[in-house]
């Protein structure tokens, strides 16, 4: 390929990239005007949605401008190079800068999970292994609490049932960001691939002969819904609500009133219980919130199951239903079976340093998303990759 044809091909890639991003840049400008509208500020729910979308589009606009500036500089340098050879030396430098900027914009244009800006609800349940499994579930709950603390998120323990030895039979945790997080930094975006079966290998405290046992605990994660979210509507006739007294380890009563609430969604059979609050009303609100999130997540997963073969392949890469991770205490090793990630700092991970493990899942997901939309690298071209039509 001649130098001229290579330049023409690169220019076409950059032009396509800028065309793909232009509607998002225009939307960002419209949102900026909306944020100056008193009517928007008078509606808290609308203001929250506008702020979230505005923040999500910010990086796209910055990348778009970087590509546009570098592209204009490159065209000018090429034109001046025909008259003065000194300018020709600048062309490779600007091409490299344009390639980096184009790559960043291309990544931002890959279709995102529409729930990535949401908060999350995380459930931890003991599984195989009896009391040891409950103790491990407690370790996982503390790990997520410390991870949330490290990232500056707020947490609310919606419900928790302890085991006799202080483990956790079942717990539900709401995780919320403070303010409007940057794209990809909200709780759901970081935690969504934590769902699945987590396996532990260690000597249980109940083991008298020092043998290593294997047990497991389950984690389920779903996007938290806003109070004004209309994605899921629940008819009161579809619910059966039972109240009972809260209980602690060993079944002992910890409350003298019927404050605990159990809600059954009759059409699906889903059951949610909450007993952490002393008020029956608060427990009911928490249970309804979890139920609403579960129903929406079930509908989302059903839709994904019916998607194209390429998209379904991506979902399996980081499947939330499979045995996803092993925590080996004797070797201080953590391994994620979906991405191949392995490290020998299990003690630090359990103390909340979870970002490297999480990032391995996010990187695998991003690579699969790019492959799914058919973004193929073009060797030797400025910008290197053609843009897809997706949006954040």
Structural domains in the chain plus CATH codes: 3-111 (no CATH), 114-226+308-372 (3.30.70.1660), 234-306 (3.30.160.20)
**Would you state the structure tokens that stand for residue 128, as one six-digit string?**
């195989």
Going by pLDDT thresholds of 50, 70 and 90, the confidence category of residue 231 is low
pLDDT of residue 87: 75
pLDDT at res. 148? 97
| Mean pLDDT on 217-236 | 79
- The dihedral built from the CA positions of residue 20, 23, 25 and 28, taken in this order, carries a sign that is negative
Cβ burial 305-314 (10 Å sphere, 16+ → b, else e): eeeeeebeeb
| pLDDT for the residue 247 | 65
* Residue 225 pLDDT class (50, 70, 90 cuts): confident
- CB contact at 8 A, 122 and 220: yes
d(CA 215, CA 133): 6
Banded model confidence at residue 375, pLDDT cuts 50, 70, 90 = very low
d(CA 112, CA 292): 23
pLDDT of 241 over the 50 cut: yes
Query: Nearest-CA neighbor of 16 among 76, 75, 74, 67?
Result: 67
Average pLDDT over the chain, rounded to an integer: 81
Region of poorest pLDDT, from 299-303, 324-328, 365-369: 299-303
**163, 249 Cβ separation under 8 angstroms:** yes
Q: What is the distance between the alpha carbons of residues 215 and 199, in angstroms, rounded to a whole number?
A: 6
Give the pLDDT mean for 287-306: 79
The answer, yes or no, to whether residue 135 has pLDDT greater than 50, is yes
Percent over 70 (pLDDT), the chain: 82
pLDDT confidence bin for 227, thresholds 50/70/90: low
Distances (CA, A) of 125 to 22, 133, 170: 46, 9, 4
State mean pLDDT over 347-369.
92
DSSP per-residue string spanning 2-62: -HHHHHHHHHHHHHHHHHHHHHHHHHHHHHHHHTT-HHHHT-HHHHHHHHHHHHHHHHHHH
Reply yes or no on whether the pLDDT at 314 is more than 70.
no
Show the tokens assigned to 29.
């400008």
The pLDDT-based confidence of 257 (bands split at 50, 70, 90) is low
pLDDT band of 273, cuts 50, 70, 90:
confident
Quick one: pLDDT at residue 318? 37
pLDDT band at 169 (very low <50, low <70, confident <90, very high): very high
Contact 198, 217 (CB under 8 A): yes
* DSSP class per residue in 139-186: HHHHHHHHHHHHTT-EEEEEEEEE-TTS-EEEEEEEEE-SS-PPTT-S
Joined tokens for residue 32: 């900026």
Q: In what order do the strands lie in the sheet with 333-336?
A: 154-162, 168-176, 120-126, 213-223, 196-202, 323-328, 333-336, 342-343
Residue 311 confidence (pLDDT) above 50 = no
Question: Residue 30: what are its φ and ψ, rounded to 5°?
Answer: -65, -40
Q: CA 383, 386, 389, 392 torsion: positive or negative?
A: negative
Q: What pLDDT is stored for residue 305 in this prediction?
A: 67
Q: pLDDT-based confidence at 197, cuts 50/70/90?
A: very high
pTM: 0.68
pLDDT on residue 315: 34
What pLDDT score does 8 carry?
57
At residue 319, the pLDDT reads 39
Of the two residues 302 and 105, the one the predictor is more confident about is 105
């Amino acid at each position: 390929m001649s130098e001229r044809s290579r330049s023409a091909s690169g220019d076409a890639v950059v032009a396509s990239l800028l065309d793909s991003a232009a509607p998002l840049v225009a939307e960002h400008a419209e949102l900026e005007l909306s944020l100056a509208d008193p009517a928007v500020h008078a509606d808290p729910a609308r203001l929250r949605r506008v702020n979230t979308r505005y923040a999500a589009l910010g990086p796209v606009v910055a990348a778009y401008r970087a590509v546009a500036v570098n592209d204009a500089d490159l065209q000018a340098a090429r034109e001046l190079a025909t008259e003065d050879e000194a300018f020709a030396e600048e062309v490779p430098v600007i091409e490299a800068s344009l390639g980096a900027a184009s790559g960043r914009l291309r990544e931002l244009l890959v279709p995102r999970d529409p729930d990535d800006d949401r908060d999350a609800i995380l459930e931890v349940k003991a599984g195989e292994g009896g009391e040891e499994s409950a103790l491990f579930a407690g370790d996982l709950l503390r790990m997520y609490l410390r991870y949330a603390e490290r990232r500056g998120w707020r947490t609310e323990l919606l419900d928790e049932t302890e085991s006799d030895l202080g483990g956790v039979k079942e717990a539900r945790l709401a995780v919320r960001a403070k303010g409007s997080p940057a794209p990809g930094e909200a709780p759901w975006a970081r935690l969504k691939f934590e769902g699945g079966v987590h396996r532990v290998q260690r000597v249980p405290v109940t083991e008298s002969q020092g043998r290593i046992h294997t047990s497991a605990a389950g984690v389920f994660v779903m996007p938290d819904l806003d109070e004004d979210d209309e994605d899921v509507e629940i008819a009161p006739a579809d619910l059966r609500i039972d109240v009972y007294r809260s209980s602690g380890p060993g079944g002992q009563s910890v409350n003298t009133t019927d404050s605990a609430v159990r809600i059954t969604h009759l059409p699906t059979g889903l059951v949610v219980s909450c007993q952490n609050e002393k008020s029956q009303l608060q427990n009911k609100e928490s249970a309804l919130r979890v139920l609403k999130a579960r129903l929406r997540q079930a509908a989302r997963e059903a839709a994904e199951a019916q998607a194209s073969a390429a998209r379904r392949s991506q979902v399996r890469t980081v499947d939330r239903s499979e045995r996803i991770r092993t925590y080996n205490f004797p070797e201080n090793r953590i391994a994620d079976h979906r991405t191949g990630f392995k490290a020998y700092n299990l003690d630090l991970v359990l103390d909340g340093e979870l970002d490297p493990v999480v990032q391995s899942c996010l990187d695998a997901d991003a690579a699969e998303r790019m492959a799914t939309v058919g973004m193929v690298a073009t060797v030797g071209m400025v910008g290197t990759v053609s843009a897809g039509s997706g949006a954040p």
